Amino acid sequence: KNKMIKERIKKLRANFKRLNINGYVIPKNDEFFSEYTKKDRLRFISNFSGSAGFAIILENKNFLFVDGRYTIQAQKESGKNFKIVEYNKIVNCDLFRNLTIGIDPKIFTSMQVKKFFLKNNYIKIIEKNLIDEIWKNKVNPSKEFFSLNKYIVGEDYKKKVNKLKNYLTKNKLNYIFVSAPENAAWLLNIRGYDNPNSPIPNCHLFFDDKKRIVLITKKVSARKLIKEKKIRLNQIIEPLNFKKFVNSKKNGRILVDSKSCSLSYENILKKKFNVIRQEDPIYFFKSIKNKTEIHNMVQSHIRDGVALTKFIYWIKLI
């Protein structure tokens, strides 16, 4: 495994001279900022299997930033090829200075770039992910998104849409870009199979003050939603066509959550709209649970308690 990781690092570094960079950053998250992903680039390049971290490959050194949960694990899994560093030291990182560091803008937010790297180094945006260039990762085609019954979630999605519309009107906003997939899932009462541990549908959502919804995802993922007439075919925009879609819209004020919106999407949006950086209001909306959600949460805790009690009883019998 150690030899394989060295080979991969060597292949990655082979791109540095061509791109005029001194290093490249690989985060744990994917394009949807999920810590659990089918596209684990960090593990591919470092062998580190924890749920959070950043690898920075330089011309002569490699750093792996992890938090306190993973220092021993990271040392065991990656220590032969990486210097393991506490996660907090990546903020305004001064372990290396005056270098040109390459990043994929689809997997970083503007906040992360500013917080972690800009003080002491220059960032170069590289549109093609360099790990994907050397890793021919064949991810199985995604299963289709599906809807949850309103009797399960306790509130029809149309009521949720009205809440969001009223928020835009009250705050004099023309649009909102819902970048967090879990918030798009809450708004439309949909789920998916894109995450190995949670029913997250990998998508983004564009919404305006006229209640027009556009889902940014692959069309094949939304076939069930189209069939049940929750959305129409012309409300689906493939990610590669997002820039063209944005350019077709009227100018206006758009809310963008800079904690979950990638640098790539933010750059596209700010060329057309007046970007207002605020927390997505859906986080607040979904924090207030309705009666059905409260009932289901209580039932979940009861089942969890029974399962844990059975497990403890079984352990004591051994």
Q: Quickly list DSSP for the chain.
A: -HHHHHHHHHHHHTTHHHHT-SEEEEES--TT--SS-S--HHHHHH---SSS-EEEEESS-EEEEE-TTSHHHHHHHHTTTSEEEEGGGGTT--SS-S-EEEE-GGG--HHHHHHHTTTTSEEEE-SS-HHHHH----PPPPPPPEEPPHHHHSS-HHHHHHHHHHHHHHTT-SEEEE--HHHHHHHHTEE-S-SSSS-----EEEEETT--EEEES-GGGGHHHHHTTSS-GGGEE-GGGHHHHHHTSPP-EEEE-TTTS-HHHHHHHHTTSEEEE---THHHHHHS--HHHHHHHHHHHHHHHHHHHHHHHHHHH-
pLDDT tens-digit map of 45-99: 999 999 999 999 999 999 999 999 999 999 999 999 999 999 888 877 778 889 9
How confident is the model over 105-122, as a mean pLDDT? 89
pLDDT in tens, 247-289: 999 999 999 999 999 999 999 999 999 999 999 999 999 999 9
pLDDT surpasses 80 at 166: yes
With bands split at pLDDT 50, 70 and 90, how would you rate the model's confidence at 223? very high
Residue 142: the pLDDT is: 75
Q: In this predicted structure, what is the pLDDT of residue 56?
A: 95
Evaluate if residue 140 carries a pLDDT over 80: no
Contact between residue 30 and residue 129 where contact means Cβ atoms under 8 Å apart: no
The answer, yes or no, to whether residue 168 has pLDDT greater than 70, is yes
Sequence-distant (≥ 6) Cβ neighbours of residue 299 within 8 angstroms: none
User: Would the pLDDT of 244 be above 90?
Assistant: yes
pLDDT of residue 7: 95
Of the chain, the percentage scoring pLDDT greater than 70 comes to 99
CA dist., res. 72 & res. 70, Å (int): 6
What rounded mean pLDDT belongs to the chain?
93
Q: Averaged over 113-125, what is the pLDDT?
A: 87
Residue 195 — pLDDT band, cuts 50, 70, 90? Answer: confident
Query: Is the CA virtual torsion 149, 152, 155, 157 positive or negative?
Result: negative
pLDDT tens profile 142-154? 789 999 998 899 9
User: Which carries the bigger pLDDT value, residue 2 or residue 276?
Assistant: 276
The per-residue pLDDT for 139 is 67
pLDDT at residue 242 in the model: 97
Give strand pairing partners of 271. Answer: none
Q: What is the pLDDT of residue 163?
A: 97
pLDDT score, position 138: 67
Q: How many CB atoms lie within 10 A of CB 34?
A: 22
pLDDT digits (tens, 9 = 90+) for 21-54: 999 999 999 999 987 888 899 999 999 999 999 9
148 close to 191: Cβ distance less than 8 angstroms = yes
pLDDT value at 240 more than 80: yes
The answer, yes or no, to whether residue 141 has pLDDT greater than 80, is no
pLDDT of residue 95: 83
